[in-house]
Structure 1
């Protein structure tokens, strides 16, 4: 299990190293600030969520809380594929909600020195707001993912409506 880190991407601007959780999709390395990561686990069955944005694969029950599962492959323009037992899920907390990211594999943690960080603009053609930077690694580039920019404002609203119909994300009551 991966535990929550101590620094975030903002630490990079202050001159400190930033710790990232590295995950892979189709052989490309991506990173998420470790401070946002609660844990990484093997994939489990996902329940479809009618009315959710296309980037949402469905929901899972995580300790009594209904949590949306994001299909990261779709966000980055990769072909979606059926869930596999070898896939991983990253439970992460953004500013607005806890989400689960469906990824091919979780590789481990990476410490990115500030001099290794570059802006995604100009390096990654067509990069949207979800990719905020790039870290140079010995084996290639690691694209830094911003969880809070994963969904657009309209997609956030659509997800909120779908979760409300499902029964709310704060666990039902009784």
Structure 2
């Protein structure tokens, strides 16, 4: 008998009207927006940093990662605290929609769609449209990770 893969559990969030997803196991919690402190020398994808219970976290923008027009952060935005490799980050979301499940077979890998989208793991089609699953393991390039480390050390 063939064993079925467990369903993927995804945290859904909206950025610029598009739905994105993060693997639930990578997400620690969702917070209300807080004041962001600029971080000179950080990669462009980093909006700044915040201090959460003594831990300084980089605030990153999917909007900047995808080259979308800049938008001011508002008090209505949320921060999704998640693991990106060994680093904890907070991702700006215009809204967090909740948790959804889908079969692993429903995900179309980005290699099947096109090359050059290294931070998108795959796409899932839902009744509301396409959901882009972020690959947090590859969210930062090696150069960006090094630049962020150096900026955090200087701060």
Q: TM-score range by the shorter chain?
A: over 0.9
Secondary structure (helix, strand or coil) at the match of 2:143 reads helix
- Segments of 5+ residues of structure 2 without an aligned counterpart are none
Aligned equivalents of 2:61, 2:128: Cα separation in 1? 25
Aligned residues: 152
Aligned equivalents of 2:61, 2:145: Cα separation in 1? 14
- Segments of 5+ residues of structure 1 without an aligned counterpart are 1-13, 167-174
Residue among 77, 82, 86 paired with 1:92: 82
Question: What is the RMSD computed on CA atoms of the aligned residues?
Answer: 1.4
**Greater percentage in strand:** 2
Residue 115 of structure 1 and its aligned partner are, at CA, apart by 2.6
- 2:129 paired with 1:101: no
Residue among 155, 161, 169 paired with 2:144: 155
- 2:135 paired with 1:146: yes
Residue 138 of structure 1 and its aligned partner are, at CA, apart by 1.1
Residue among 48, 65, 80 paired with 1:75: 65
1:1-174 aligned at under 5 Å gives the runs 15-123=5-113, 128-166=117-155
Task: Tell me the TM-score normalised to structure 2 length.
Answer: 0.92
